Structure 1
């Protein structure tokens, strides 16, 4: 995806954990889409920071996690549920075993983070084990911009 492109549809999940969410439900405030996999060590390492953003900005930010399997063992829904519980992932999780959402986002990495504004336009992307500070800084600017436009 390129910056300023609209968020793709979130259709095609093979399962939903913590509630179903659609693109249309996310248009009232900025959204962080977070791709992860149970087999990804960096994903688990970054999860407390994702959860901290989710909790700190719960009234100003939507957070949605997309489970993108990398290995055959990642396809087991019970393992996804267990890992979600162990890492306090309480936001909606779209299990993308058929990789339809992954393809719509043209995503290749876990962890990866897509930050969209309230209009659904991509404003920031980062992937891998890069500093979460960069994501948080971009989020802060986006939230400030969102407050000014209200």
Structure 2
């Protein structure tokens, strides 16, 4: 009986260990170990490149993110103090940001750490980004040991411990695991989907006024379109960043929205359709994207264009 129980335990344990990543010493999936991180220099690195060599500190950020900007001086000091012992990489979301925007911030704060722009959105999607700033720490074996939105004493202390090769508690590997998501089938229906965010109109107003105006114009346009084309399938997909059902309800009330509204909680719609600008109106016909609209200054022009959709 004991032998049978031991064998069952051993089989389960072997399967569990093998399913984690097949390589002892890291608690994150192989997919994340080997996901390419393209730096602004053109160099491509992976977390696996630093395994057994250096701990890694990844920070996701955006130029329009106010806390991100507030944290930049501390971020640079961390790199200056510990950069030889820990690999620091700044990953810009590339959402409403281009290389010129990143370089401008880099110059303003004299940033010297390696930079990356997540143009495909693969990094944010796979590392389960829910809001910026977003910090992830990995030890020398690339075990995930810290995840936070705060640049605080706890983060600094763990970075210092990592540079001294001190062991830290590993986070549950499931925090960076996700089930495989099947591609969305848009079937044959003609539809218009507005990709935006519950904070798009008021948060951008503090950092990028022109973006806030675009967000307001886009939602007003969709409301008008829903009245003019009641037979057209219209919906709004909200970014999951800093958003919950309560925020969605307030957004719907603020704009008096009557069309269906959803939070893209898995980020599947945003990722599959490569949405990198807020807001973006996507027109789909016969299951294929026929146009992406990101400029909502002239509503009449857009409405005339959409009027041809059947």
TM-score when normalising by structure 1:
0.80
Q: Is the 8 A contact 2:93 2:118 kept in 1?
A: yes
Instruction: Please say if residues 36 and 44 of structure 2, whose CA atoms lie closer than 8 Å, have aligned partners that are also in contact.
Output: no
Query: Are 2:54 and 1:29 aligned?
Result: yes
**Aligned counterpart, 1:20:** 43
Q: SS of the residue aligned with 2:59?
A: strand
Select which of 129, 139, 160 maps to 1:117. Answer: 139
Determine the structure 2 residue equivalent to 1:93: 115
The structure having more radius of gyration, on CA atoms, is: 2
Unaligned runs of 5+ in 2: 1-25, 168-310
Contact 2:71 2:151 in 1 (8 A): no
Q: Structure 1: where are the runs of 5+ without partners?
A: none
What SS does the corresponding residue of 1:17 show, helix, strand or coil? Answer: coil
Aligned 8 A contact 2:37 2:45 in 1: no
1:47 maps to 72
> Alignment RMSD, CA only?
2.2
Instruction: Specify which structure has the bigger relative contact order, considering alpha-carbon pairs within 8 angstroms and separated by 6 or more residues.
Output: 1
After superposition, give the CA deviation of every residue in 1:29-54 in whole Å (9 maximum; x if it has no partner): 11110111011111111011111111
Deviant stretches of 4+, over 6 Å = none
How many pairs align?
137
Aligned to 1:140: 160
Q: Deviations over 1:2-47 (max 9, x none)?
A: xx7327234264xx32562412332211111011101111111101
For 1:20 and 1:139, how far apart are their aligned partners in 2?
A: 25
Does the C-alpha gap of structure 1 residues 60 and 35 become closer, same or farther in structure 2, counting only changes over 3 Å? same
Does the CA contact (< 8 Å) of 1:17 and 1:81 recur in 2? no
What is residue 83 of structure 1 aligned with on the other side?
A: 105
Aligned twin of 1:6: 28
**Whole-angstrom distance in 1 between the partners of 2:144 and 2:77:** 21
Report the CA distance between 1:55 and its aligned residue.
0.8
Q: Secondary structure at the match of 1:59?
A: coil
